[in-house]
Chain A
Amino acid sequence: MNILPLFVTIPLAGAFVVSLFDFIKDEKKKNISTNIFASLAGLVLLVISIKVIGSAGVYSMGKWKLPEGIVLVLDPFSGPILLITNLISFICILFSFDYMSGYNGREKYYSLFFLMVAGMNGLVLTGDIFNLYVFLEIASVASYALVGFGTMREEIEATFKYMVLSSVATAFMLLGVAFIYGFTFNLNMVSVAKALGSMEAPVGVYVALGLFIIGFSIKSALIPFHAWLPDAHPSAPAPISAMLSSVVIKTVGMYSLIRICYVVFGMNTGQVPEVLRVLGILSMMLGVLLALGQWDFKRLLAYHSVSQMGYIALGFGLGTPLGVIGGIYHLLNHSVFKSLLFLNSGAVYYRTGTRDLKEMGGLGKKMPVTGATSMIASMSIAGIPPFNGFWSKLIIIMACIKSSHPWLAFWAVLGSILTLASFLKVQRYGFLGKVKDSLRNVKEAPFMMQVSMITLALLCLAMGGLMLPGLYDLIFVPAAGIILDQAQYLKLVLGN
C-alpha cells in the first residue's frame, strides 16, 4: 500500500474526529482526551514521515494516470520538508497541553491545527498547480483562525491584517494558475513543465511568473511584503507562533516558490534567482535591523523570522548546487531553532504573564530549563559553532564566495553579527542578571513544556550532524538535483 495519501487523510480525519470531542461536557476530561488523541495522531504522522525519508514515489489519486489525473509526488526535496513539518507539529502539540489551558475550546483548537497540518502536507506532496493553491488555502484559512484564537483586541486586529494581505497573495496565485492554464491547458506540474519547455514562452507566462513571485513573497514575508508578519506571529498562542514562523511561512511561501519557479518553470538561472537574491539581502538586513530595536520578545523573534527567511532566499537565489543545499539546510535548521525560541517565549509568558523584555530579568535562575534551551537556540540562530545554525550559514556564505558574489557573503556575515547582538540583548535582559522582585515566585515551566523544549534543543545540536558525508549525500545532494535539474523531476514522476 502506498502511504503518501495518509499524510493528507490522517490530519483531515483527525481534524474532523477531534472536533466531535465537544460532546464531553466535563472540561478537564475533554482536555485530557483531546490531548491524547491529538498527540497520537501527531505521532503517527511523525513516524510515517520518518519512514518515507530518503525514498521517492508517486501516487495517482483514484487510479487516474497522468496527464488527466492528480498525483501526489514524494521527491528528495519534499521529503525533508515533510519530515520537519510533522516533527514540529508533533512537538507543538506536546507544548499545547499546558499552554492552551488559558483558552477554552480545546477541540476546536486541535481541529484547526490539524487542518493546517493537512494543508501543509498536501501542499508539499502535490504534483498539481491548482491543488497546490487549494491546499495552500486550507492551511492559510486555518492559520487565520488560529492567529485570532484568543479573540482579544490585539489578536483580532492582527488576524484581520494578516487575512487581507494574505487573500491578496492567494488571489495573485490563483491568477497565475489561470494564466498558466490559459497558455498550456494543463495543470499538473510535469505537463506544464514540458509544455513550457517546448514552446516559445509568450509574455503572459512571465506575467504569471511575476504574480507567483509576488504572491509567494507575501506568504513568506520577504521585505517589502512583510508587513503582516510582525503583527500576526506574536499575537497567536505560542505553539501557533512556533508553527507559523517555523513551518507555515516555509512550506506555504518558500517551498512553493521554489517548486513553481525552479522546478515547474525551470527558471533556475538568470532573472528569477536574481530577484530572490535581492529580496533575500533586503529581508536579511532590514529584518535584523528592525529586530534590534524591539523590546517585545515575540515581536523581536518575528522580525528575526523575516531576517532568516532572507538567508534562505539568498541560498536558493544563488542557483548553484551548494547555495541551494545551504538554503534547504538553513530552512530545516531555522524551523528547529525558531520554534524553540517561540516555545521559550511561550513558557516565559505562561509563568510570568509578560512578553516585555524590560520586565524580565534573571529568569535563567528561576526557570533553568527554559533559560538553558533559549541559550542554545540563541546561539544556533546567531550561528555559533557547533550548533546547527552555524553550519548552514557557513554553507550559504561559502556558496556566495564560490559563485563570485563576495559582497553577498559580506552582508550575510554582517547580518549574522547583528543577529548575535540582538540575541545577546535577549539573554542579557531576559534570562541572565539579577532576578527582579516581581519575579521572585516564578516556577519552572510544566513538565510537557520542558520535554518539548529539551527535544528541540537536542535537535539543535544533532542537526549539525547532517553535515556528515553519509547524511549529506542522502538528503541534500538529491534535493539540490531535483531543484536545479528539471529533467530529473520529470523522470521521477513519469518513470521513464
Chain B
Amino acid sequence: MNVPIIYTLCMILFSVGIYGIVTKKNVVKIILSILIMENALNLFILMIGYRKDGIAPIVQPGMDAAGFAASSVDPLTQAMVLTSIVIGLSMIALMVAIAIRLYERFGTFDISEIKDLKE
C-alpha cells in the first residue's frame, strides 16, 4: 500500500491534537489541541484535491473544459476547507468564551480541580 508521505504527516498532526486533548489538564491547552486537530484536518482535505504542478481552479480565456479539468487542482476541496474553517472559528470562539466563564466561576484553568459534577 502506497500512502503519500504528506497524508501521513497530516495524520501525525491529527494524532498530536488528539493526544493533547486526552492528556493536557489546562483548559487553554485543550482548546489549542482542538485547533491543531482541526487544522490537520483542513490540511488533509486540501491535500486530497492537490495535484502536482496544478493550476489555480480558475478558467482562463481560451481554455476548454477538458483542458481545465486535466490541469487544475480540485476546487471542491478548497470550498470544503473554507466551510470547515468557518465552523471551526465559531466553535473556537464559543470555547474561548466558555473558558473565560470557567475561570470566572472556578478561578482556575486546571480541569482536575473543576469537578463539581459527580460521576
Taking Cβ atoms with an 8 Å cutoff, the residues of A that contact B are: 130, 134, 137, 141, 144-145, 148, 151-154, 156-161, 163-164, 167-168, 171, 174-175, 178, 181-182, 187, 203, 231, 235
Contact = CB atoms under 8 A, between A and B. Distances in A.
B48 A178 contact: yes
Closest 3 CB pairs of A and B: A182-B48, A153-B105, A137-B87
12 contacts: A141-B90, A141-B94, A144-B98, A153-B116, A154-B116, A156-B98, A156-B101, A157-B115, A168-B34, A171-B37, A181-B48, A181-B80
Interface in B17-61: 17-18, 21, 27, 30, 34, 37-38, 41, 44-45, 48
A214 to B, nearest CB: 12
Contact of A203 (B1, B27, B90, B116): B1
Contact of B41 (A148, A160, A161, A174): A174
Which interface residue of B41, B90, B106 has the most chain A CB atoms within 10 A? B41
Interface string B77-111: 10010011001001100110011011001100000
A163 B84 contact: no
Which interface residue of A137, A161, A187, A231 has the most chain B CB atoms within 10 A? A137
A163 B111 CA distance: 14
A159 B21 contact: no
A187 B48 CA distance: 13
A154 B117 contact: yes
A134 B83 CA distance: 8
B49 to A, nearest CB: 9
Given A168-B18, A231-B117, A175 B41 contact: yes
A151 B90 CA distance: 19
Given A157-B114, A163-B91, 19 more contacts: A141-B87, A144-B94, A148-B101, A154-B117, A156-B101, A157-B115, A158-B117, A160-B95, A160-B99, A160-B102, A160-B114, A163-B98, A171-B34, A174-B41, A174-B84, A178-B41, A178-B44, A181-B45, A182-B48
A203 B2 CA distance: 12
A182 B46 CA distance: 11
A231 B106 CA distance: 17
Given A158-B117, A160-B102, A175 B14 contact: yes
A309 B3 CA distance: 38
A157 B80 contact: no
Contacts of B117: 154, 157-158, 161, 231, 235
B91 A141 contact: yes
B102 A157 contact: yes
B38 A171 contact: yes
A168 B80 CA distance: 18
A159 B87 contact: no
B87 A145 contact: no
Nearest to A165: B21
Contacts of A144: 91, 94, 98
A203 B91 CA distance: 32
Nearest to A234: B117
Which interface residue of A144, A151, A154, A157 has the most chain B CB atoms within 10 A? A157
B11 to A, nearest CB: 9
A163 to B, nearest CB: 6
A178 B45 contact: yes
B105 A156 contact: yes
Contact of A148 (B1, B17, B37, B98): B98
A231 B119 CA distance: 8
Contacts of A174: 41, 45, 84
B80 A130 contact: yes
B72 to A, nearest CB: 14
A151 B104 CA distance: 10
Which interface residue of B83, B101, B115 has the most chain A CB atoms within 10 A? B101
A160 B99 CA distance: 8
A157 B113 CA distance: 11
Contacts of A164: 21, 30, 34
A182 B7 CA distance: 11
A156 B87 CA distance: 21
A420 B45 CA distance: 49
Contacts of A175: 14, 41, 44
Contacts of A145: 94
Nearest to B105: A153
A161 B115 CA distance: 11
Nearest to A162: B98
Which interface residue of A130, A134, A156, A168 has the most chain B CB atoms within 10 A? A156
Contacts of B27: 160
A160 B94 contact: no
B91 A167 contact: yes
A161 B27 CA distance: 10
Contact of B95 (A152, A153, A163, A187): A163
Which interface residue of B14, B17, B27, B102 has the most chain A CB atoms within 10 A? B102
Nearest to B74: A185
B66 to A, nearest CB: 17
A137 B98 contact: no
Nearest to B37: A171
Contacts of A182: 48
B94 A163 contact: yes
A203 B84 CA distance: 25
A154 B116 CA distance: 6
Contacts of B91: 137, 141, 144, 163, 167
Contacts of A148: 98, 101
B116 A167 contact: no
Contacts of B34: 164, 167-168, 171
Which interface residue of B80, B90, B117 has the most chain A CB atoms within 10 A? B117
Nearest to A148: B98
